[in-house]
Amino acid sequence: MFQAYYSIEVTSRVRFGLFDFDPATRELRREGVPVRLQAQPRQVLAVLVEHAGEVVTREQLRQAVWGTDTFVDFDRGLNFCIAQIRAALGDSAESPRFVRTIPKQGHQFIAPLGAAEVSATAAASIPPKRSPKRYALAAGLAVVVCALLALMIVMRPRTVNVAVARFDNETGSAELDRFADGLTDAVVAELTADAGARYGIIGNAAILRRPRSQRDLMAIGSSLKANYVVLGQVQRSHSHIRVLAHLIRLPEQTHLWVVRLDRDTADPLETESKVARTIADEFSRRLRASPQAIFR
């Protein structure tokens, strides 16, 4: 089965359907256009592609992606990664075309792989071989430039911090507590991926996990040196859930933007991922739009 699915070495970009994937850089593209995927889902996809056609156990994925020294909610983390991969590939758990879940065992990449074609433009851009002396000089200059850039980044003060408080479950249903927690973590991850070096994201401070009745925005701002705080609510709306996310500027507690989304919870993990991505898109756009007007 291994040979039937995997007929090429996974040392270069591989193709499956409309997608191609580079196991080395872990870049996923659809018809040549990059597809956004977070770091850990990319790692999981790389392992599954490397063992295409085989059932990769959950324990094997834990060892390959998280290792033995990282203490996380592994089951939730892996489920989130698989949901992210399926969302990126337009796949589904019920009728999988790429990733199949084997209950109580693991996951299997089931799409046939082929070598991705290199465009003429890309081939022409490959530089000619350099002589050892010129290569050493170029490598030395590159090291110096990288060191200077790294020093500039380290020395540049980060004056803007965004704190993300735990989303409040206002439905009265205890089973949605985990959804609210997972949504909070997903929003932190998505905002962090968008922020780069422009602003900092704080999501793991104890003060941010306090219930709403004990939450003090002024204390959050002063203790975390936060310029903004994200507050979230999970509510019932007939057979759906409603998620409200607020972007608030501190210390004056001014509302800058509110995102309101109504979603079905048939697939909570996929809902978490999509809602978090929408919230991050809306807030990141505004945080980047006009730093002179917003960052004070």
**What pLDDT, in 10s, does the model give residues 214-228?**
989 999 999 999 999
Report angle CA 18, 23, 29 to the nearest 5 degrees: 30
- When the pLDDT of each residue in the chain is averaged and rounded to a whole number, the result is 80
pLDDT of residue 152: 55
Residue 2: its pLDDT value, please?
42
CA angle 232, 237, 239 (to 5 degrees): 125
Tens digit of pLDDT for each residue in 132-188?
556 566 666 766 666 666 555 444 444 689 999 999 999 888 888 888 888 898 898
Given a contact cutoff of 8 angstroms between Cβ atoms, the answer to whether 164 and 207 are in contact is no
Same domain, 91 and 208: no
Tell me which of 115, 150, 183 is where a domain ends: 115
Sequence-distant (≥ 6) Cβ neighbours of residue 207 within 8 angstroms: 219, 220, 223, 224
- How many distinct structural domains can be found in the chain? 2
Q: How confident is the model at residue 117 (pLDDT cuts 50, 70, 90)?
A: low
Residues 167 and 285 reside in one and the same domain: yes
Angle at CA 169, nearest 5°, toward 166 and 174? 120
Q: Which pLDDT score is estimated for 10?
A: 54
End of a domain among 47, 82, 115?
115
- Residue 154 domain-assigned? no
The mean-pLDDT minimum among 112-116, 180-184, 258-262 falls in 112-116
pLDDT in the model for residue 124: 44
Q: Which residues of 130-159 are buried (b: 16+ CB within 10 A; e: fewer)?
A: eeeeeeeeeeeeeeeeeeeeeeeeeeeeee
Residue 282 inside a domain? The answer is yes
Domain shared by 165 and 286, yes or no = yes
Say yes or no to pLDDT of 292 above 80.
no
Q: Is the pLDDT of residue 294 over 70?
A: no
Whether residue 176 sits in one domain with residue 85: no
Token code pair at residue 276: 């978090």
Q: Please report, for the domain that includes residue 84, its CATH number.
A: 1.10.10.10
Q: In this structure, are 193 and 88 located in the same domain?
A: no
Residue 165 and residue 95 in one domain:
no
Question: Has residue 176 been placed in a domain?
Answer: yes
Domain edge (last residue) among 78, 97, 115:
115
User: How many Å apart are CA 104 and CA 276, to the nearest integer?
Assistant: 28
- The answer to whether residues 106 and 165 belong to one domain is no
**186 lies in the same domain as 109:** no
**129 has a pLDDT exceeding 70:** no
Is the pLDDT assigned to residue 271 strictly greater than 70?
Answer: yes
**Which range, of 30-44, 55-69, 107-121, 216-230, averages the lowest pLDDT?**
107-121
**Angle between helix 177-195 and 74-89 (nearest 10):** 60
Residue 257 lies in a domain: yes
User: What was the pLDDT predicted at 114?
Assistant: 85
Q: Do 176 and 283 fall into the same domain?
A: yes
Q: Where is pLDDT greater, at 295 or 164? A: 164
pLDDT higher than threshold 90 for residue 115: no
The answer to whether position 102 is within a domain reads yes
The answer to whether residue 185 sits within a structural domain is yes
Same domain, 52 and 111: yes
What CATH number does residue 228 fall under? 3.40.50.10070
Give the H/E segment covering residue 224: helix 217-224
Cα 63 from Cα 207, distance rounded (Å): 32
Euclidean distance between CA atoms 147 and 210, whole angstroms: 41
In a domain, 229, yes or no: yes
CA 31-33-34 angle, 5° bins: 125
**Are 271 and 166 in a shared domain?**
yes
Same structural domain for residues 109 and 172? no
Residue 273, in any domain of the structure = yes
Q: Which domain holds residue 16?
A: 2-115
Over pLDDT 70: what percentage of the chain? 75
Q: SS3 string of 246-266?
A: EEEECCCCEEEEEEEEEECCC
